[in-house]
Amino acid sequence: MKKLTLTAAAVAAVAALALAGCSADRGGQAGDESGSAGFAADATIGIALPDKTSENWVLAGGLFEDGLREAGFTGDVQYAPASNTVAEQQNQISAMVTNGAKVIVIGAKDGKQLGTQLQQAADAGVKIIAYDRLIENTENVDYYVAFDNFEVGKLQGQALLDGLAERSGHEAPWNIELFSGSPDDANSAVFFNGAMEVLQPKIDDGTLVVVSGQTDIAQTATQGWEAENAQSRMDSLLAANYADKDVDGVLSPNDNLARAIITSAKQAGKDIAKVTVTGQDSEVESVKSIMAGEQYSTINKDTSLLVEQTIKMIQQLQQGEEAEVNDTEQYDNGVKVVPAFLLAPVIVTKANAAEAYANNPNLLDIVNAAG
């Protein structure tokens, strides 16, 4: 962890703790000999995660449990259940405020529906960090920590172009279809807009043909990020447009949906080795699919790095400092530009998988096993 210098407030807090007869060194973090200016070193930190529709959310829960414990905090990690998810997440966040959490980290199920709970948090002096997904239409979100999602979209768009040239077996024009994520997730539009920055000029100049004509984000959306919704839309697109044509590529915003799209294309008798399907998240099954020559690409957004960065921010707040950010322009939530710490995503195809997963033994095993 970054060594933090003593602030006047930290000195005052030590004095206050000494007066109260409290131990100032709970938590035992480097740089924390002084005790806490922001809040107690063993304070409760709430982690509110959405449903488990992607592996990254499942991984994040365990990493937060371990990381917060190691940092000396008391972690309160909650997932919103699969049904009634928005209301349950609202209740969980309210309960975290009531139970005295000092920071609440939120992977929002619906980033537009947390206004009431975040007002409650602000009134209680609780800091809010939006994790992976931006929280919209409220001033009560203090920080955002995520992989650069617009860059994720651009990398997906570029991977689609690269894959088309590599494996379609013919020159442009190429027939493609577009998918986006759930409309209640702020990331969905960011991924899609990033990809379209790369793809739109190629649609305009005729290199790419969206045979269905469905290029609007509302038409391409996948409600709830549910694989079955992507699969049934792909079934309909193929039946209506590709009975006598090849589909050369599909922009898929994540791995879970990519595998559903691939299943649909296979069932319709398409030669998947020639179809370029993008993805995101480096899910185990998708890495296997990439190595088997089916899915074309994914994105490595290493969850352990994102959790580590989030915990660093919490430690800075605990010390009474501002959390470190590296972007103060991009993430306007409709009310304010939320100061953000963005990490760099990495595109992964079969060609660079060994290098991309060099630090991830599980995924590296899959790559090596595929030879």
Piece of 79-87, 113-121, 180-188, 201-209 that binds ligand BGC (CB under 6 A): 180-188
> Do the Cβ atoms of 62 and 307 come closer than 8 Å?
no
Separation between Cα atoms, residue 318 and residue 127, nearest integer Å: 10
Question: Is 310 among the residues that bind ligand BGC (CB under 6 A)?
Answer: no
Crossing angle of helices 255-267/227-241, nearest 10°?
A: 40
Alpha helices in the chain (DSSP H): 8-19, 55-70, 85-98, 115-123, 149-167, 186-204, 217-220, 227-241, 255-267, 284-291, 303-318, 353-356, 361-369
Q: Nearest distance from residue 190's CB to ligand BGC, in Å?
A: 9
Based on C-alpha coordinates, what's the Rg of the chain? 23
Question: Is 133 among the residues that bind ligand BGC (CB under 6 A)?
Answer: yes
Q: Which residues pair with 77 in a beta bridge?
A: 47
Question: Is 259 among the residues that bind ligand BGC (CB under 6 A)?
Answer: no
Categorise residue 132: left if φ over 0, alpha if ψ from -120 to 50, beta otherwise: left
For ligand BGC, the binding residue among 76, 142, 177, 281 (CB under 6 A) is 281
Q: Quick one: 76 or 185, whose CB is closer to ligand BGC?
A: 185
Q: What is the CB-side half-sphere exposure of residue 13 using CA atoms within 13 A?
A: 21
First and final CA of the chain: distance in angstroms?
A: 38
Q: Quick one: 37 or 230, whose CB is closer to ligand BGC?
A: 230
- Report long-range pairs for 64-69 (Cβ below 8 Å, ≥24 apart): 64/105, 64/307, 64/310, 64/311, 67/307, 67/308, 67/311, 68/311, 68/314
Question: Is 278 among the residues that bind ligand BGC (CB under 6 A)?
Answer: no
Q: Quick one: 193 or 207, whose CB is closer to ligand BGC?
A: 193
Q: Nearest distance from residue 310's CB to ligand BGC, in Å?
A: 14
> Do the Cβ atoms of 359 and 367 come closer than 8 Å?
no
Question: Is 309 among the residues that bind ligand BGC (CB under 6 A)?
Answer: no
Question: Is 252 among the residues that bind ligand BGC (CB under 6 A)?
Answer: no
Q: Nearest distance from residue 265's CB to ligand BGC, in Å?
A: 20
Question: Is 85 among the residues that bind ligand BGC (CB under 6 A)?
Answer: no
Size, binding site for ligand BGC by CB under 6 A: 12
Q: Quick one: 36 or 53, whose CB is closer to ligand BGC?
A: 53
Contact partners, residue 311, CB within 8 Å, separation at least 6: 64, 67, 68, 71
Site for ligand BGC in 28-57 (CB under 6 A): 53-54, 56
For ligand BGC, the binding residue among 225, 242, 296, 357 (CB under 6 A) is 225
Q: Quick one: 225 or 331, whose CB is closer to ligand BGC?
A: 225
Question: Is 297 among the residues that bind ligand BGC (CB under 6 A)?
Answer: no
Q: Nearest distance from residue 328's CB to ligand BGC, in Å?
A: 21
Question: Is 333 among the residues that bind ligand BGC (CB under 6 A)?
Answer: no
Q: Nearest distance from residue 131's CB to ligand BGC, in Å?
A: 10
Residues forming contacts to ligand BGC in the complex (CB under 6 A) are: 53-54, 56, 132-133, 181, 185, 187, 225, 254, 280-281
